């Protein structure tokens, strides 16, 4: 079963890496994959987060930081050293089938993708907090952004599709946990006291 999944993972990786390959696509995917690329986008998201609930901006900033930190630590601090799955660009039996860009590979292990975990943590946080209640189309834009960032890692040959899929699940789960804990804490320590 695992061998079959691995074969599918490699086949999809090679297909994405070869089918869309071009110099301009290389530039686009490198751009999308760079963390600092998205600083202006994060500023826009923070603006919307503030506008949605100005009184809770500091609480929401702490919460979204916790979501990203948890997702990142589970991905990089726990799963990568635990699973020890080589990135495709570091796996000699796989990278011979890939068109790689020199100097772009990352650390030795790639399961799961921290990029995918982080961007999907952000996406789900904004959905759960209903930040775009008056601009529903922004939810789709946010999802497309998270998907493009994740797929850029596959295109560049630094992650298998399974790495980014599971990374996305880690980010989604981390955000649900943090938002759930927020609700538990508020109900226990704040709501009950205000009703006494």
Q: Which CATH architecture has domain 2-195?
A: Up-down Bundle (1.20)
For residue range 147-192, list pLDDT tens digits in order. 999 999 999 999 999 999 999 999 999 999 999 999 999 888 876 5
Q: Has residue 14 got a pLDDT over 70?
A: yes
Q: How many CA atoms lie within 13 A of 39 on its CB side?
A: 3
Q: For the stretch 40-58, what's the b/e string if a residue is b when 16 or more beta carbons lie within 10 angstroms of its beta carbon?
A: eeeeebeeebeebeeeeee
How far apart (Å, rounded) are the C-alpha atoms in residues 64 and 77? 19
Going from N- to C-terminal start, the domains of the chain cover 2-195
Give the global pTM. Answer: 0.92
For residue range 63-113, list pLDDT tens digits in order. 999 999 999 999 999 999 999 999 999 999 999 999 999 888 989 999 999
Are 179 and 159 in contact by the 8 Å Cβ rule? The answer is no
């Amino acid at each position: 079963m695992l061998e079959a999944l691995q074969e599918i993972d490699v086949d999809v990786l090679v297909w994405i890496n070869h089918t869309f390959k071009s110099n301009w696509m290389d530039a686009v995917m490198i751009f999308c994959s760079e963390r600092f690329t998205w600083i202006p986008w994060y500023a826009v998201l923070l603006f919307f987060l503030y506008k949605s609930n100005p009184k809770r901006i500091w609480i929401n900033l702490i919460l979204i930081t916790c979501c990203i930190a948890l997702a990142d630590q589970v991905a990089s601090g726990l799963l990568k050293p635990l699973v020890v799955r080589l990135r495709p660009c570091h796996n000699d039996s796989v990278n011979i089938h890939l068109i790689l860009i020199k100097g772009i590979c990352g650390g030795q292990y790639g399961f799961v993708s921290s990029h995918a975990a982080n961007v999907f943590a952000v996406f789900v946080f904004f959905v759960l907090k209903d930040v775009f209640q008056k601009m529903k189309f922004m939810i789709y834009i946010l999802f497309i952004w998270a998907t493009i960032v994740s797929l850029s890692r596959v295109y560049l040959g630094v992650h298998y599709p399974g790495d980014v899929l599971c990374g996305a699940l880690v980010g989604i789960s981390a955000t649900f946990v943090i938002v759930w804990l927020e609700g538990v804490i508020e109900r226990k320590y704040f709501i009950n006291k205000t009703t006494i």
